[in-house]
């Protein structure tokens, strides 16, 4: 018996690279399309960093109440939805589009931000980009 590591399976979202968390959540073509659209909508410049550092960066860069919550929602919802998409492909052979995921995440963030107690204190730019009344 040999002690060679087993090869990693290809990414279920792009089928071109070895799957690992950093690739799946940030480097994959599918993930990048989702991130680009959401970051443009949120008017956020996201640095190219490994996924393990993303939470630290977001909490340091955005440390005012509602902005922090928006960044936490953006990061958490996007990673969660990317993982869900990966699992649906693996278990159910169901393939969603990046556009559908972008729409779902946008609706999720808008709904969550719209229920915050601090909604009245939310900057108009934030209310406008997420279409919060």
Residue 48 lies in a domain: yes
Residue 7 counted as domain residue: no
What is the extent of the structural domain holding 50?
21-129
Which residues does 93 contact at the CB level (< 8 Å), separation at least 6? none
Residue 65 in domain:
yes
Residue 102 domain flag: yes
Is residue 34 in some structural domain? yes
- Does some domain include residue 5? no
Question: pTM score > 0.75 for this model?
Answer: yes
What tens digit of pLDDT does each residue of 27-86 get?
999 999 999 999 999 988 877 777 677 767 776 776 667 888 888 899 899 999 999 999
Instruction: Using the Cα atoms of residue 73, residue 76, residue 77 and residue 79 in order, give the sign of their dihedral.
Output: positive
pLDDT of residue 50: 72
Confidence check: pLDDT of 1 > 60:
no
What is the tally of structural domains in the chain?
Answer: 1
């Amino acid at each position: 018996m040999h002690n060679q590591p087993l090869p990693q399976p290809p990414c279920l979202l792009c089928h071109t690279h070895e799957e690992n968390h950093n690739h799946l959540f940030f480097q994959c073509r599918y993930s990048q399309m989702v991130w680009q659209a959401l970051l443009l909508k949120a008017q956020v410049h996201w640095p190219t960093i490994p996924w393990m550092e993303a939470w630290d960066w977001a909490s340091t860069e955005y440390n005012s109440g509602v902005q922090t919550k928006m960044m936490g929602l953006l990061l958490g919802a996007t990673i969660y939805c990317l993982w869900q998409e990966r699992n649906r492909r693996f278990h159910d052979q169901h393939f969603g589009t990046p556009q559908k995921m972008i729409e779902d995440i946008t609706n999720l963030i808008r709904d969550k931000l719209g229920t915050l107690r601090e909604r009245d204190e939310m900057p108009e730019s934030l209310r406008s980009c997420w279409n919060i009344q």
